[in-house]
Structure 1
């Protein structure tokens, strides 16, 4: 039950963040490191739009693909790891984005990323089923 609530909450946060990528591309373009444009051969706007689309897609998958929940959780965690260099770049360059307009907030955001990774992994991990231990009786096959 708690995992379901946290999974839905994570999906809502991803969807909101993804939509913000479409609404406020200028604010997010400032965060994209220059090396990312060289690596992906995309401009900053395309990277922002693509990452927003991925966030919205992951949000939908977290709630809609119940049979693939574990894989979607791992993909979400991988996404959080993949965007971490952008968070470091934002902190090091002092560039503001929506909600991250102070050095303190930008620095604090770095510590949120591992929490998000753990959240995605834990909230999509299958529940353990109680195991039944069978006793072996001596002398019986």
Structure 2
């Protein structure tokens, strides 16, 4: 896939996800492990950084830093995904499917790898291998 197109897909996906954290925070709060304090505030914070990371991916001067930030964010939200799968949570607005919950866990690795791709400088067109 073309790196520019992939960057736009991830950026738009992150901005969309972040917006949902703000517009409909309740399902995200339900995913939060009980040991974490201030779940609603953490949902808002993660949504803010998802939006910021998505925007940052599209700004060449900060795109590499934004990609690293998204990697850290994907790691930070992983406990909520684990919590959802391990405890077979019923989340408002999501289909209750334990298999999908477990399949979602490796998706975090895919997202991390996707963001990591954008931490690498783009090669000049003459150096790209086709």
The alpha carbon displacement at 1:110 in A equals 0.1
Listed as ranges, the matches of 1:59-98 within 5 Å are: 59-63=54-58, 65-97=59-91, 98=93
Structure 2 counterpart of 1:109 = 104
After superposition, the CA RMSD in angstroms is 2.1
Contact conserved, 2:15 with 2:50, CA < 8 A, in 1? Answer: yes
Could you list the per-position Cα deviations for residues 38-60 of structure 1 after superposition, in whole angstroms to 9, with x for gaps in the alignment? xxxxx211111111111111111
CA distance in 1: counterparts of 2:19 and 2:67, whole angstroms: 20
Q: Which sections of structure 1, spanning at least 5 residues, go unmatched?
A: 38-42, 132-141
Q: Structure 1 residues 28, 18: closer, same or farther in 2, change over 3 A?
A: same
Listed as ranges, the matches of 1:3-22 within 5 Å are: 3-22=3-22
Contact conserved, 2:57 with 2:64, CA < 8 A, in 1? Answer: no
Q: Secondary structure at the match of 2:49?
A: helix
CA distance in 2: counterparts of 1:78 and 1:57, whole angstroms: 13
**TM-score under structure 2 normalisation?**
0.86
Higher RCO, 1 vs 2 (CA within 8 Å, ≥6 residues apart)? 1
The alpha carbon displacement at 1:3 in A equals 0.9
Q: Which sections of structure 2, spanning at least 5 residues, go unmatched?
A: none
Q: Which has the larger radius of gyration?
A: 1
Structure 2 counterpart of 1:134 = none
Contact conserved, 2:85 with 2:98, CA < 8 A, in 1? Answer: yes
The alpha carbon displacement at 1:71 in A equals 1.6
Q: Secondary structure at the match of 2:21?
A: helix
State the aligned residue count.
126
CA distance in 1: counterparts of 2:40 and 2:60, whole angstroms: 32
